[in-house]
Amino acid sequence: MSRTVYVNEEYLPEEDAKISIFDRGFLFADGVYEVTSVLDGKLIDFDGHAKRLARSLNELDMQEPCTEEELLEIHRQLIARNDLNEGLIYLQVTRGAADRDFVYPSADTKPTLVLFTQAKQIAISAAADSGIKVISIPDERWGRRDIKTVQLLYPSMGKMMAKAAGADDAWMVEDGFVTEGTSNNAYIVTHDGTIVTRHLSTEILHGITRAAVLNMANEAQMKLEERPFTIKEAQHAAEAFITSASSFVMPIVSIDGAAVGTGAPGPIAKRLREIYLEESRKAAL
Ligand code: PDD
């Protein structure tokens, strides 16, 4: 069955949704995006995603296509019109359509706004039960990874490198330290039970799930440290995991072929996944 999608103020069947070949998202990857998860027909961490979108737009001098209240209404309409119980909502804003020129078009160019749903089981997940395998690759992305742009070719290549190596995903490494996963934030748990994840900077995306999970870990009185770590430290850690809107908390059981901890999902990652699911269901909009 065809989905109903949203394009520039219209709800349309997916096959009728069109944008211009001059759209700067298409020509220059001049666009930003958000992915928000849906559980029980409700939005998880919507406020965080809306705030980060506003920040990404501001960093690129891009216009906000509508207000946060209007965005919430569009998300809710898409959930209702597609009868979405569990899955993801993808949102993209581009600088709009204008004749091809590296210089930004005039400020009155209308931004393009596109949203669509993806039905998907994410709360109950075979991958979360078994844990996933990652490989390490050099981080060859641009320097403003704190802006959630649609320049996803390198992360896409990274997933393909992982697949070719018989793994599920890749952790990117810069100057000897892990930055993040191709589409998620990276963590280890040391043998004294401390959760370690890289500090926020322009080198990584400021994950909305990361913020929520660190808050919950803090409230549960778990030990936290925000600092870089190496692949070697991760391979010798007690546990490793990732977080994102599409995977929540996902245990990692192998890095570059070396088993992490017991080679099975660790208790802290499992506990954080449970807490995150429980708390975010309660706070869902
Ligand atoms: N990716 N780091 C990168 C590079 C990401 O692309 C993502 C999210 C994250 C986690 O952010 P959050 O917790 O806000 O989802 C970290 C989304 C899910 C995607 O591209 O599909």
Where in the chain are the domains?
4-119, 126-283
Hey, whose CA ends up nearest to atom 5 of ligand 1? 183
Ligand 1 atom closest to Cα of residue 205: 2
* 132 class by beta-carbon count within 10 Å (0-12 exposed, 13-18 middle, 19+ buried): buried
CB atoms within 10 A of CB 143: 7
The pLDDT tens digits for 182-228 are 999 999 999 999 999 999 999 999 999 999 999 999 999 999 999 99
205 lines ligand 1 (CB under 6 A): yes
Q: Do domains 4-119 and 126-283 have the same CATH topology?
A: no
pLDDT band at 173 (very low <50, low <70, confident <90, very high): very high
208 lines ligand 1 (CB under 6 A): yes
Tell me how far the alpha carbon of residue 186 lies from the centroid of ligand 1, in angstroms. Answer: 11
Tell me how far the alpha carbon of residue 144 lies from the centroid of ligand 1, in angstroms. Answer: 14
Residue 272 predicted with pLDDT over 80: yes
The pLDDT tens digits for 82-113 are 999 999 999 999 999 999 999 999 989 999 99
What pLDDT, on a 0 to 100 scale, did the predictor assign at position 279?
A: 96
Catalytic: 148?
A: yes
Q: What's the rounded Cα separation, in Å, for the pair 3 and 140? A: 35
For strands 258-259 and 132-138, give the pairing. Answer: unpaired
Contact 113, 25 (CB under 8 A): no
The correct CATH number of 126-283 out of 3.40.50.300, 3.90.420.10, 3.20.10.10, 3.30.360.10 is 3.20.10.10
Quick one: CATH architecture of 4-119?
2-Layer Sandwich (3.30)
247 lines ligand 1 (CB under 6 A): no
Hey, whose CA ends up nearest to atom 4 of ligand 1? 183
Of the residues 42, 133, 148, 270, only one is catalytic, namely 148
Residue 1 predicted with pLDDT over 80: no
Q: What's the rounded Cα separation, in Å, for the pair 276 and 216? A: 7
200 lines ligand 1 (CB under 6 A): no
92 lines ligand 1 (CB under 6 A): no
What pLDDT, on a 0 to 100 scale, did the predictor assign at position 269?
A: 97
In the numeric block, which tokens belong to residue 32?
A: 């930003």
> Smallest Cα–Cα separation from 93: which of 80, 120, 77, 74?
74
What pLDDT, on a 0 to 100 scale, did the predictor assign at position 145?
A: 98
Q: What's the rounded Cα separation, in Å, for the pair 9 and 65? A: 10
> Smallest Cα–Cα separation from 33: which of 151, 200, 154, 141?
151
The pLDDT tens digits for 46-59 are 999 999 999 999 99
Q: What's the rounded Cα separation, in Å, for the pair 161 and 158? A: 5
Tell me how far the alpha carbon of residue 7 lies from the centroid of ligand 1, in angstroms. Answer: 23
